[in-house]
Structure 1
Amino acid sequence: MTLTKELPTVLHTPRLTLRLADPDNPSDCQKIIQIYNDPHSSIGGNARVGINTPADVHAKHAKHGPRQEFCTKAVAPRGLFHLTFLKTSEDDGGEGELIGFIGLSFRPEMPYPDLGFALFKPFQGQGYASEAGRRALSFWTDDVGVKEIFCGALEGNERSLATAKRIGFVEVGGFDVEFGEVGSGEVVRKRAVAVVLPGMRWREFDEGGRRVVIRPTVGVETEGQRRGEIRVS
């Protein structure tokens, strides 16, 4: 089947404008870098994920960008982040102040594509994440045709978990996530809660009865590493 559906690059909600970021646009790359490096945007718990230059943004897209086998209704878009802006004061649907992003990553180590969101601190706690997340989720499911999506929230991150549930996900179990390179002596393991779209199945244990462990493929630096508390063996 030939997929010819044209995807919207700009989405709207009552208060927000979401635009699919172009990884070849230097300005968009800088916005993504700014969000990833904000200490209050709650990405990856207290770990840095190595997104510091435009080349890192390109590498992120190359590793985790939309994969066609998941996109059943349209050609896979080039971008994975929806940059999220306040609507302009004239309420014309244009881009106002940048508040964060909603991203769908197609990471090979994850069982399904995973939705993540990050907002600058002044815009947290006002319902923006739910509003943007709900609209971005409908883009990926209804327009692109991605049928199975999950979210992961580190234990204790009740705000992210509540947001995921508000936009339609249901809690089904958990998994362990390891930050750092295996065998380096720098690995930190944390527990995470898994939420999925209704009707999806989640396997918390493999066929040998071992708990699922996910190791992100983008290099990360833990808080302990930054403080010098974790040494390389």
Structure 2
Amino acid sequence: MRLETERLILREWRDADRPAFAAIVGDPHVMRYYPATRTPAEADAWIDKMIAGLSDGSAHFLAVERRSDGALLGLTGTATIRFEIPTSPKLEIGWVLSQQYWGQGYAPEGARASLAHAFDALGAPEVAAFTARINEPSQAVMKKIGMTRDPAADFEHPSVPQGNPLRPHVLYRIANPAP
């Protein structure tokens, strides 16, 4: 699977991506809205999970490569939501980019391509995004790609321990614009 934008190539994962991805998800600042950074072995397992999701159709998280120089920026894509969330959305969109690529419009650009794929190729009626309530940068991206917060669907993330400030999550959604 491959999606292209003006500046990005969203593509399947390669073994050569593993060291750069491990550096991205091992960075405490990048992962500050996740419960923990990832070790290189955990980063490899994450890539393996994304490859498996592409293979079985349950997820479409792709490597984000910059067209101009082939740099791996991070990941973006969609996946089936596998736990209960109020209002029961079925498909989520997400992204994780290296800090050096923040503030350049790459996250919204890649996310828009992933949304188009979800609506056009997958026929999704809607896509949701969720993050820790305190993660304002990701919420800004959600707004930039046309998503609207649904306060009725805010929830406590079941994978985050009770009392952790990352446990309260907000949910944004966007409907497929096709009739």
- Bin the TM-score by the shorter chain: 0.7 to 0.9
- Spell out structure 1 runs of 4+ moving beyond 6 A: none
TM superposition shift of 1:32: 4.6
Cα RMSD (Å): 2.9
Mapping 1:9-20, distance limit 5 Å: 9-20=1-12
Map Cα deviations across residues 144-192 of structure 1 (whole Å, 9 max, x no partner): 2222321012112111001011112111111111435xxxxx6445211
TM superposition shift of 1:100: 1.0
Aligned 8 A contact 2:10 2:64 in 1: yes
**In structure 2, C-alpha distance between the alignment counterparts of 1:56 and 1:118, rounded to whole Å:** 12
TM value normalised by structure 2: 0.75
Identical-residue share of aligned pairs (%): 25
Number of residue pairs matched?
Answer: 167
Amino acid at match of 1:37: G
Mapping 1:26-105, distance limit 5 Å: 26-28=15-17, 32-42=21-31, 44-48=33-37, 52=42, 54-55=44-45, 57-59=47-49, 65=53, 76=57, 80-88=60-68, 96-105=70-79
Go from structure 1 to structure 2 and tell me whether the alpha carbon gap of 1:100 and 1:158 turns closer, same or farther (over 3 Å shift).
same
- Secondary structure of the structure 2 residue equivalent to 1:99: strand
User: 2:146 maps to what in 1?
Assistant: 168
User: 1:159 maps to what in 2?
Assistant: 137
TM superposition shift of 1:123: 0.5
Q: Give the structure with the higher percent helix.
A: 2
Aligned 8 A contact 1:115 1:150 in 2: yes
Mapping 1:203-222, distance limit 5 Å: none
Go from structure 1 to structure 2 and tell me whether the alpha carbon gap of 1:67 and 1:191 turns closer, same or farther (over 3 Å shift).
farther
Go from structure 1 to structure 2 and tell me whether the alpha carbon gap of 1:53 and 1:177 turns closer, same or farther (over 3 Å shift).
closer
- Secondary structure of the structure 2 residue equivalent to 1:145: coil
TM superposition shift of 1:39: 2.4
Structure 1 alignment gaps of length 5 or more: 1-8, 69-75, 89-94, 181-185, 200-233
Aligned counterpart for 1:197 among listed residues 145, 161, 174:
174
- Secondary structure of the structure 2 residue equivalent to 1:168: coil
**In structure 1, C-alpha distance between the alignment counterparts of 2:123 and 2:32, rounded to whole Å:** 26
Instruction: Give the greater-gyration-radius structure (CA).
Output: 1
